[in-house]
Amino acid sequence: MSCQEVHHGRLLGILLAIVLGSACSLAQQAICSSTIGEVPRVLGSSAGQKLGLTTTELAQLRKVVPKGRLLRLAVRLSEDQYVLLYENDNFFSPDANLLLARDGSVDTKFAMSSLPLKPREDLDVEWRKSFDAFEYAHSCTNDMQFIFLSFQAGNAGGTFVAVVQDAKGKVSIVPLGDVAQGRLLISDSNPSLVQLWDVASKDSTLCTGCPKHYAVTDIDLSSGTRSVKAEKTTKRTYDGDEFQNHPLRFAAVGPAN
């Protein structure tokens, strides 16, 4: 083989590596593009298409959902791995569950009724089963992927859960905390950083429509766990109704006022 042939071979290899690397990067961006949306009542073909899922994929995913339950959300983490959300067809007691599915089988199941919540007399198992999925957000860093889910129980409050896929592909389901008229701010530059907003205890007895101070918790998810970095209470008051209507938001996460 001549030196020129070797040179051409190396050049072809370099070009191929660049093309493949670009294709992988584009595929990752396509899977991980930052999105916030409402969780559909039933994940049909139209809603599935908006999530980038084919009719065939949906049919396969429904097979891992227990009989009699409704598939409400499916987000692809990779070519063969999905996060699924299913509930009862009962608005008052949906009994929501999360599934991690791979190759058509269940990797992990997480029931919202098992959530660790703040110690209050009214937060029993039946109340946990009343959590209804409302919004979802999907985002990523260069090597991690995040799905955030908001759940509500009428005017009684809500809770947030994150699904985190680390650089090695390990997936963790991370409860972030329950709130009253609260919200979750997701850093638009680094989604591993979030802020959980909950009505401050000193304003917890105020009317639903009253402006309130908020307790804000800074959380770091870069390790795949809930790591609290700071806690503070806002100096000004906020309209909780707006938070409840739009509980998930990408923002420049910084100190709360």
Does the pLDDT value for residue 132 go beyond 80? yes
Neighbours of 96 (CB within 10 A): 27
**pLDDT tens digits for range 57-85:** 999 999 999 999 999 999 999 888 999 99
CA nearest to 174, candidates 213, 220, 132:
220
- What pLDDT, on the 0 to 100 scale, is given for residue 185? 97
CA angle 34, 62, 167 (to 5 degrees): 40
**Average pLDDT, stretch 165-193?**
93
**pLDDT tens digits for range 5-62:** 444 455 444 333 333 333 343 334 445 678 999 999 999 999 999 999 999 999 999 9
The pTM of this model reads 0.84
